[in-house]
Amino acid sequence: MHNHLEVVLPDADVRDDAMLTTAANNALTLNVTVPDGVEAIAQDGNVTLTGTVSYDQERAAAERAVPGLIGLRNVRNDIEVSYDVESPIDVDLHVQEALGRSALVPDDSDVSVVTKDGIITLTGHVRTWAEHDAVIDAAWMAGGVIDVHDELQITG
């Protein structure tokens, strides 16, 4: 089944390709669940997402990061998913980088990550449920994760 609908933007909402590309890449960068290396390029209001991620959730997060942009007509998701199992050091680094990008988790957080056989154990303290969920989501985004043990404490 083919959809032959065409999105026609009001003149005030039309952005040139460079502006839309910049806006899309900014949206991807600001989304903590989108890993580095995912990029967007716009042509005639259509944005194409490219790059490689470890999980389909990351691919979907990138697609969800851009739909509200002014001037956007369509999103094409050409992001590839690589299911390679990462080493425990890489998993720890990936989670720590994701935590560092999260505005919800403070820089002085004592959250620690231990990885063994694809199982991540999270310990430490977070202030709110939103911080807790951000930490858990970051852990699940690491490549090769088969389970996450949540030993986080919410301090309120």
Q: What string of DSSP letters covers 29-76?
A: HH-TTSPTT-EEEEETTEEEEE-EESSHHHHHHHHHHSTT-TT--EEE
**For the segment 114-146, what is each residue's pLDDT rounded down to a tens digit?**
888 778 899 998 888 888 888 888 787 776 677
Residue 104 DSSP label? T
Model confidence at 85: pLDDT above 80: no
Q: What is the pLDDT of residue 10?
A: 67
Are 126 and 98 spatial neighbours (Cβ–Cβ below 8 Å)?
no
pTM > 0.75: yes or no? no
Higher pLDDT, 53 or 10: 53
Share of the chain above pLDDT 90, in %: 33
Q: What is the mean pLDDT of residues 67-73?
A: 88
Higher pLDDT, 5 or 59: 59
| Residue 63 to residue 77: CA distance in whole angstroms | 7
The edge-to-edge listing of strands for the beta sheet with 39-43 is 39-43, 46-50, 74-77
**pLDDT grade, residue 61 (50/70/90)?**
very high
Q: What is the pLDDT of residue 21?
A: 96
Higher pLDDT, 3 or 120: 120
Q: What is the pLDDT of residue 141?
A: 73
- Mean pLDDT lowest among 79-83, 101-105, 123-127, 128-132: 101-105
Q: What is the pLDDT of residue 127?
A: 83
Domains delineated in the chain: 11-81 (3.30.1340), 88-154 (3.30.1340.30)
**pLDDT grade, residue 71 (50/70/90)?**
confident
